């Protein structure tokens, strides 16, 4: 007597009825098409600048990048004439890739940026990460955008009898105003960015002095894309040579050099030029007949670079050198040593990039 009839004569209490109602509502909501939910979500639109550095290798193009962001948002957020702008840049680093995102506001001012990095050997992972970051930012802009006010339906206008027809005026042609082309300046391309580096390193010189000798050097280099120019100075440890009669000399070497290099990933090939001063300090004689003299060398270099900790790097290099101006040390009227025509330098440099 206290229950209501249910399906197939099974009584249903009020509590059970409430639980079934909730389950039916939840089930109905779960089968709603995803497009309906997306249509109800706010949307934001931005203009896209997508730039891949020339040395980055095969990377997703702009269309694939747009499609990746669109799949994550459920709509295409990119409009060429949008007020806001996002600039995406991809560049290769020594061990992977760097990604850079910049945002402008509706007034054209760059108001935010984000940097990402990847140690993968291919460009796909960094492009995927950048697309995800752009999708998140666009969704945040859509969420924070002020809601549009509900439109107010105006009252119906009173019915007015039309006036008598008048002759139509002659058509006139007017120039429509050009669309507003004010856009924020594009950020500089990574392909044209100059990287400035400084470093130091020990070297071993072969056939530069009477015996193999150690050198220490300091260098400064600037790089644009795949090309770089280096300027360096170095000094050698004194190398001593003694004759059978007890006379001899100690040789000092001071030099300045330049190298023009082409880069392919971690490898580099360079042309080098060196000018310097050789100074002999004799012993067992009053003085060497040739106490000091200039020299010059030309040559080539092969180098391999490895980056670590972001801005730091190590370079292993081998230089082949040809003496362009031979020099002779004379003791007691006899030639004691002549600079060899061909020499070599092997070294390991440590450096840091400033920007």
Confidence (pLDDT) at 26: 37
Question: Of the residues 144, 159, 183, which one is the last residue of a structural domain?
Answer: 144
- Looking at the fold, whether 118 and 212 belong to one and the same domain comes out as no
- Looking at the fold, whether 329 and 217 belong to one and the same domain comes out as yes
**How far is residue 289's CA from residue 334's CA, in Å, rounded to a whole number?**
9
Spell 331-350 as b/e; 16+ CB within 10 A means b.
beeeebbebeeebbbebebe
- Looking at the fold, whether 104 and 207 belong to one and the same domain comes out as no
> Where do runs of H (alpha helix) occur along 104-257?
124-144
User: Residue 308 — φ and ψ, nearest 5°?
Assistant: -155, 155
163 lies in a domain? Answer: no
Question: Of the residues 108, 128, 144, which one is the last residue of a structural domain?
Answer: 144
Helices then strands, counting H and E runs in the chain, come out as 4, 15
Confidence (pLDDT) at 292: 81
**How far is residue 262's CA from residue 191's CA, in Å, rounded to a whole number?**
15
Confidence (pLDDT) at 150: 53
Consecutive sets of 10 residues in the chain, 355 residues long: mean pLDDT of each?
A: 39 40 36 43 88 84 92 92 91 85 88 88 90 92 69 62 61 52 55 81 93 94 93 93 79 94 94 93 63 90 88 94 86 79 95 85
54 lies in a domain? Answer: yes
Nearest by Cα to 252 from 274, 210, 232, 280:
280
- Looking at the fold, whether 221 and 140 belong to one and the same domain comes out as no
CB atoms within 10 A of CB 197: 21
Max Cα-Cα span within the chain: 137
- Looking at the fold, whether 229 and 333 belong to one and the same domain comes out as yes
Confidence (pLDDT) at 165: 61
**Domains of the chain: total:** 2
- Looking at the fold, whether 118 and 228 belong to one and the same domain comes out as no
- Looking at the fold, whether 219 and 329 belong to one and the same domain comes out as yes
Q: Which CATH number covers residue 320?
A: 2.40.160.20
Confidence (pLDDT) at 133: 93
308 lies in a domain? Answer: yes
Give CA separation, 247 vs 39, 291, 337, in Å: 95, 14, 13
22 lies in a domain? Answer: no
- Looking at the fold, whether 230 and 334 belong to one and the same domain comes out as yes
User: Residue 133 — φ and ψ, nearest 5°?
Assistant: -65, -40
Question: Of the residues 144, 172, 205, which one is the last residue of a structural domain?
Answer: 144
**How far is residue 200's CA from residue 352's CA, in Å, rounded to a whole number?**
10
150 lies in a domain? Answer: no
Confidence (pLDDT) at 191: 47
82 lies in a domain? Answer: yes
- Looking at the fold, whether 222 and 292 belong to one and the same domain comes out as yes
- Looking at the fold, whether 97 and 202 belong to one and the same domain comes out as no
52 lies in a domain? Answer: yes
59 lies in a domain? Answer: yes
Q: Which CATH number covers residue 108?
A: 3.30.160
Parent domain of 136: 38-144
- Looking at the fold, whether 49 and 108 belong to one and the same domain comes out as yes
- Looking at the fold, whether 253 and 321 belong to one and the same domain comes out as yes
Give this prediction's pTM: 0.50
Q: What number of residues does the chain have?
A: 355
Give CA separation, 51 vs 80, 184, 227, in Å: 16, 16, 19
CA 196 to chain centre: 14
């Amino acid at each position: 007597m206290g229950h209501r009839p249910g399906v197939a004569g099974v009584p249903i209490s009020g509590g059970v009825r409430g639980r079934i109602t909730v389950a039916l509502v939840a089930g109905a909501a779960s089968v709603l098409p995803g497009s309906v939910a997306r249509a109800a979500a706010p949307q934001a639109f931005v203009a896209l600048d997508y730039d891949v550095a020339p040395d980055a290798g095969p990377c997703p193009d702009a269309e694939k990048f747009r499609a990746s962001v669109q799949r994550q948002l459920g709509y295409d957020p990119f409009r060429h004439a949008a007020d806001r702008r996002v600039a995406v840049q991809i560049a290769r680093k020594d061990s992977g890739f760097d990604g850079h995102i910049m945002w402008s506001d509706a007034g054209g001012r760059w108001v935010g940026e984000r940097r990402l990095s990847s140690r993968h050997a291919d460009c796909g992972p960094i492009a995927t990460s950048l697309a995800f970051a752009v999708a998140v930012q666009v969704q945040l802009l859509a969420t924070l955008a002020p809601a549009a006010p509900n439109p107010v339906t105006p009252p119906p206008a009173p019915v007015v009898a039309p006036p008598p027809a008048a002759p139509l005026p002659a058509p006139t042609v007017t120039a429509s105003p050009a669309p507003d082309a004010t856009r924020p300046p594009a950020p500089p391309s990574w392909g044209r960015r100059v990287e400035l580096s400084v470093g130091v390193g020990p070297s071993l010189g072969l056939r530069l002095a009477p015996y193999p000798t150690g050198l220490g050097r300091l260098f400064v280099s600037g790089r644009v894309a795949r090309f770089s120019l280096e300027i360096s100075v170095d000094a050698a440890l004194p190398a001593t040579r003694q004759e059978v009669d007890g006379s001899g000399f100690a040789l000092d070497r001071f030099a300045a050099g330049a190298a023009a290099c082409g880069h392919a990933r971690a490898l580099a090939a360079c042309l080098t030029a060196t000018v310097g001063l050789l100074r002999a300090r004799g012993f067992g004689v009053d003085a060497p007949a040739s106490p000091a003299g200039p020299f010059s060398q030309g040559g080539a270099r092969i180098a391999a670079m490895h980056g670590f900790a972001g801005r730091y790097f190590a370079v292993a290099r081998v230089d082949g050198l040809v003496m362009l101006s031979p020099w002779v040390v004379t003791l007691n009227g006899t030639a004691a040593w002549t600079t060899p025509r061909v020499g070599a330098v092997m070294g390991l440099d440590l450096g840091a990039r400033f920007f």
